[in-house]
Amino acid sequence: MGASAQTKLVISGMGCVTPIGIGVATYWENLLAGLCGVGAITRFDASPLPVRIAAEVPNFCPEDYFEKSLIRGTSRFMQYALVAAKEALAQSGLVIAKNPTRIGIVFGSAMGAIAEISSTAQQYLQSKTKKVLPHFIPSTTGNMGAAQAAILFGAKGPSLTVNTACSAGGDAILMASLLLRQDLCDSVLVLGGDSIDCDIAVSSLAQAKALSRANDTPKTASRPFDKKRDGFVIGEGGGALVLEKEAVAVQRGAPILAYLAGCANTMDAYHITAPHPEGEGAARCMRLALAMAGIEPHAIGYINAHGTSTVLGDIAETKAVKQVFGDHVPPMSSTKGATGHLMGAGGLTEIIACIMSFGCDIVPPTLNYTDPDPACDLDYIPLTARKAHITWAMSNALGFGGQNSSVIVVRPGREEN
């Protein structure tokens, strides 16, 4: 089946694993209820570190989802993404075995298997035999999340891994759309996952002054756009979407949850960790996504902001949004007050929040926004969810190195606008 830049793309399945719930329904319910998943770090002894909090996925047991052989060969970030993928495929009803060579996979991750690499290195240094388990390399190689997904589900089409820091989830959606529009496949399983809850990651980010040090008040540590914010909170999880050509989805009677209207990627070319102070790259990214969608800024009814709760990042994103939307900035919120920063998974779980808002006519809140920062003076949907009929929604994901991603989805039935 041929394709082109005008080929309509739909999302027919979604799945997620987050610190506030496993499964889209639970995640969404807890997001609207204002549940916060941040607490004390339990994965390792964080007592020597200045940061001792994170948003971990609670009660996750890989044995509930996978055979032991798969568990041995996968890192935690892969497991989260694969569980999300199972849910997305089940909702979509996509039977990969019917046409496996036309099903692609794109996996987005910021830091991959850093936790497993760190723990294995420590074990090796303390070992007398200096032996490392044979599955170490296969479970930590960058492409292996996508490879394990292909093996597990039987997909034989294109397979790509995107490693663009914290914009990796959004960029994975962009990459999947390119594969579809070049007619390299008919459907793409888009996955994202990260689990960086380990001592070297926490120590490095703490020394860079990127993380919140509100160890005694973890539930209010992630404070996007709030005057008292002091850094982001590490989160972990996985997200997945089934993205496919509209004609393919319609032919097999798949549910059409949303249309992918536009997506873009840009670079700041400014600094390895700090955003451009005026948000130049992020603004340009949003404009490119709007141009692809063929809409004016005022059409957007909701923005799921990157909003990590860092001092510089929240201001830069606010300035970027103002540049693009002028006097007509739509309501926007950051769900990271609830989940922490899910890195590569965030670009997917946050677009899922946008899509869920279509069916429920409600948008999620920004938790802990109680003391407004004069430099962050937009409508961030503070504290509680808000009723709203949204037709077009945008999700931004920004990352170290000046990476910018912007994705626009539209409510089914309005894609012709």
- Domain's final residue, options 201, 226, 251: 251
If 0-12 CB within 10 Å is exposed, 13-18 middle and 19+ buried, where does residue 4 land?
Answer: exposed
Q: Do the Cβ atoms of 36 and 367 come closer than 8 Å?
A: yes
Quick one: 132 and 214 in the same domain? Answer: yes
Quick one: 241 and 266 in the same domain? Answer: no
pLDDT at 417: 40
How many C-beta atoms surround the C-beta of residue 214 within 10 A? 21
Task: Note the Cα 112 to chain centre separation in Å.
Answer: 13
Quick one: 271 and 398 in the same domain? Answer: yes
Helix (H/G/I), strand (E/B), else coil: 298 = helix
Q: Considering just the CA atoms, what is the radius of gyration of the chain in Å?
A: 20
Q: Do the Cβ atoms of 241 and 348 come closer than 8 Å?
A: yes
pLDDT at 235: 98
Inside any domain, residue 234: yes
Which DSSP helix (H) or strand (E) runs through 379?
none
Considering only CA atoms, which of 186, 193, 137 is closest in space to residue 162?
193
Considering only CA atoms, which of 151, 177, 159 is closest in space to residue 107?
159
pLDDT at 380: 98
Q: In this structure, is the dihedral angle defined by the CA atoms of residues 119, 125, 128 and 129, taken in order, positive or negative?
A: positive
Q: Please write the tens of the pLDDT for every residue from 26-78.
A: 999 999 999 999 999 999 999 999 999 999 999 999 999 999 999 999 999 99
Inside any domain, residue 352: yes
Quick one: 241 and 299 in the same domain? Answer: no
Inside any domain, residue 192: yes
pLDDT at 133: 86
What is the per-residue burial (b if ≥16 Cβ within 10 Å, else e) of 136-146?
Answer: beebbeeebbb
Residues 6+ apart with CB under 8 A from 70: 148, 152
Quick one: 168 and 90 in the same domain? Answer: yes
Inside any domain, residue 256: no
Q: What angle do CA 123, 54, 371 make, to 5 degrees?
A: 155
Quick one: 167 and 51 in the same domain? Answer: yes
Rounded to whole angstroms, the Cα distance separating 410 from 357 reads: 11
pLDDT at 2: 57
Which DSSP helix (H) or strand (E) runs through 32?
helix 24-33
Question: What average pLDDT does the structure give for the chain?
Answer: 96
Quick one: 225 and 277 in the same domain? Answer: no
Quick one: 313 and 188 in the same domain? Answer: no
Quick one: 235 and 278 in the same domain? Answer: no
Structural domain boundaries enclosing 106: 9-251
Inside any domain, residue 4: no
Q: How many domains are there within the chain?
A: 2
Helix (H/G/I), strand (E/B), else coil: 396 = strand
Inside any domain, residue 312: yes
% of the chain at pLDDT higher than 70: 98
Rounded to whole angstroms, the Cα distance separating 336 from 334 reads: 5
Which DSSP helix (H) or strand (E) runs through 311?
helix 311-325
**What tens-digit pLDDT sequence spans the chain (417 residues)?**
455 667 899 999 999 999 999 999 999 999 999 999 999 999 999 999 999 999 999 999 999 999 999 999 999 999 999 999 999 999 999 999 999 999 999 999 999 999 999 999 999 999 999 899 888 998 899 899 999 999 999 999 999 999 999 999 999 999 999 999 999 999 999 999 999 999 999 999 999 999 999 999 999 999 999 999 999 999 999 999 999 999 999 999 999 999 999 999 999 999 999 999 999 999 999 999 999 999 999 999 999 999 999 999 999 999 999 999 999 999 999 999 999 999 999 999 999 999 999 999 999 999 999 999 999 999 999 999 999 999 999 999 999 999 999 999 999 986 544
Considering only CA atoms, which of 374, 365, 402 is closest in space to residue 30?
365
Residues 6+ apart with CB under 8 A from 149: 81, 82, 85, 105, 107, 155, 189, 191
Rounded to whole angstroms, the Cα distance separating 399 from 194 reads: 14
Say which CATH number the domain at 272 has. Answer: 3.40.47.10
Quick one: 93 and 220 in the same domain? Answer: yes
Q: What angle do CA 240, 244, 250 make, to 5 degrees?
A: 120
Quick one: 217 and 72 in the same domain? Answer: yes
- Domain's final residue, options 251, 271, 302: 251
Please give the C-alpha separations between residue 267 and each of 150, 175, 280, 297, 351, in angstroms, as whole numbers.
30, 16, 9, 21, 21
pLDDT at 413: 83
Inside any domain, residue 214: yes
User: What are the DSSP E strand ranges found in 5-130?
Assistant: 9-18, 21-22, 39-40, 53-54, 103-108
pLDDT at 61: 95
Inside any domain, residue 2: no
Which DSSP helix (H) or strand (E) runs through 407?
strand 403-410
What pTM, to 2 d.p., does this model score?
A: 0.96
Q: Please write the tens of the pLDDT for every residue from 401-417.
A: 999 999 999 999 865 44
pLDDT at 415: 53
Rounded to whole angstroms, the Cα distance separating 329 from 332 reads: 8
Q: Do the Cβ atoms of 404 and 282 come closer than 8 Å?
A: yes
- Domain's final residue, options 227, 251, 275: 251
Rounded to whole angstroms, the Cα distance separating 143 from 106 reads: 10
Task: Note the Cα 223 to chain centre separation in Å.
Answer: 18
Quick one: 242 and 364 in the same domain? Answer: no
Catalytic residues, which ones?
Answer: 166, 306, 341
